[in-house]
Every structure is written in structure tokens, then in C-alpha cells.
Amino acid sequence: MEYQVGVIAGDGIGPEIVREARKVLDRIGETYGHKFHYEEILMGGASIDATGVPLTDEAIARAQSKDAVLMGSIGGDASTSPWYKLPPDKRPEAGLLKLRKSLKLFANLRPAYLYGELREACPLRDDIIGDGFDMMIMRELTGGLYFGKRVTEERGGLMTAEDTLVYNEEEIRRIAKRGFDIARKRRKKVTSVDKANVLDSSRLWRKVVEEVARDYPDVTLEHMLVDNCAMQIVKDPKQFDVILTENMFGDILSDEASMVTGSIGMLSSASLNETKFGLYEPSGGSAPDIAGKGIANPIATILSAAMMLRYSFDLDAEADAVEAAVRRVLEEGCRTIDIMPRDEGKKAAVTQVGTAEMGDLIAGRIGK
């Protein structure tokens, strides 16, 4: 089979980690008889430098013509980069928001899984970790505060900023259905996270989620306030299966979940629309402070490519092979710097590798 893949390398460490994901995809192609055709697409700071805007209409059209898009990371250091002296709608992140909206990517999947080999990198105590945890955060991606009306203006002599949080019932219903569908393939539990004790949008969220739940009698539904959920992720992460939540809450909770896995460099991500099309990216940022040093962890991007194989191309065996290769390399004791053990004694039992070597090792374990 042949697949057309748009590639947004992005900024900072983006080009480095995407390069390793492509290396692994090419190895999958060689092993299983597929061909991946790549086309570079500019977005973020790289697009600002080249075109003056974070995302052009041409770039959107090129992305829409592909079977899926693989992305690195975008943005830079907000305190020093000239990109952040531009108006908000001209900054790198505005390109990502525009792309999600243009491609109708409403469902964001962020798995947070603790590999047994990375227990030492997890900041939680052993009695909290137990046998490990495996959760999927389902984040609504095209509504809420990030897409609501916003204004900054002088009112009564005071500069005042206003952001509007809006959700309609159909936006909530479609992400809820996707969340329950995913739960049905996992451990059949959905934790819907909101702030229904304060927000009208959350009260509507809760009402619609309960309506959807009636069509899934085999799936357990529980509600949890977002502040409690943030606490429970570090107190007892193994209680969660699928966490279903709105845009901003999901943004925050998924980053928290990534850190209890040991490193944000381990957290993959898929953003899907109502077809098989998806945008696949690591959950971490562009890390401009380590860009070009060859030490970034490419595993999250490689696992995002595995999600692309699974969700957009229906290549489950190939996705399994990538995930197995990652596990095997970790079992063999190979680590990038962010997942090295903290204990000096345990460091002697593992080998620190760089970005490219980690990609080589994972690609080399596929088909063997």
C-alpha cells in the first residue's frame, strides 16, 4: 500500500524528532511492503520566517490533500523569540489552532502509559505506581476558550481582557461518542472531567455526556471535577481508563499525565476528524533550549507515527511492531537523557543515547 503523508517538521527540536519518526516509518515500509510518500509543509515559526504568517492557505490545502499529517513541535522561547512580539493571531501557535479548525480535528487522543522499564523516571512513589497505569485522555479540540471570542480593551479607564468559553451540545456529543467508543476497546470506563459546580458550559457538558452514556450500557461513567482530577492523577493514576474532557482542561491534564509517565518526551498524540484523517504529534513543546544538541527524546514522535498507522491507515500489526520495538529498546537499557535514572547506581545499568541513535535502535528492532 502507498500512503501520502504531510510532514510539518516545525521549530526547535521538531525537525530532529520528526526525522527519527520517518526513519521508523520507512523501516515499517521496507518490512511490510508499504510506501510512504512525504511532503514538507511549513507551519509555526518556520512559516513566519518564510511567509510572514504561521500558516498559509496553501499549506492548509496541501495538508487536506494527504492521508494524514505527521508533525513535530512548533514555537520558540516566548521571552526571547521575535515571533512573540507579533500580534497573537500571527504567532506560531495560531497556526496550529487554525490547522485544527481547518481540518476539523475535534478529537485529541493522548495516551499516558508507564513502561515498566521507566519506573525510576516516574516521579511518583512505588506504592502509588503499583503495577503501572495506562490511561487515554480524550480532549475536545475545536471549542472552548481557545476558539471563543476574545478581546482586550479599555473599560472604565482599565485595560480589560475577555475570553469566551462556548460549547454547543453537538460539539460535546461527538467527542463523548468517540470517548465511549475508545473506552469500549479498552477497560470500559469513562471519567468525564468538568467544572460543573461553577461553569454553565460544564453543566451542559455533563448533561450531554450522560445522554450519550445511555447508548453504552457496558461502559462505566463517572464524573470528576477538574481540580480533583489533577490531584487524582498524581495520587492514584491507575484508577483512570479514558479521561474525557474539554479543550483547556485536556491541555493541562494531558501535560500532567505525561510527566507521571517519566517524561513528556514519551507522550504521543493523535488529533482526528470524523473520517480516517488525523494529525499526529508529540505532546511536548519545541524545547528550543536543547534544539540542535541531538539529545531530544524522539519516542513520543515515533509512537505518534504508530498511532497514525493504527488510526488513519488501519495497519494494526505495523503499529504493534513499532510499539514492540520501543519496548524492546527500553528493555535493553537504552535511554535518552530525559529518561535516565536519577539514582547513580542505576545509571550504570543503562546506556545514554542521543536522538538519532534512539531512532536507529528502534528502527533496527522492527521485523526482528
| Catalytic residue check, 227 | yes
Q: Which of 101, 177, 188, 195 is catalytic?
A: 195
How many CA atoms, within 13 angstroms, populate the side-chain half-sphere of residue 204? 14
CB contact at 8 A, 366 and 325: yes
CB contact at 8 A, 81 and 45: yes
| Catalytic residue check, 316 | no
| Catalytic residue check, 98 | no
| Catalytic residue check, 134 | no
| Catalytic residue check, 314 | no
Q: Which of 49, 200, 227, 343 is catalytic?
A: 227
Q: Which of 3, 66, 98, 146 is catalytic?
A: 146
Q: Which of 11, 67, 194, 251 is catalytic?
A: 251
Beta-bridge partners for 207: none
Catalytic residues: 146, 195, 227, 251, 255
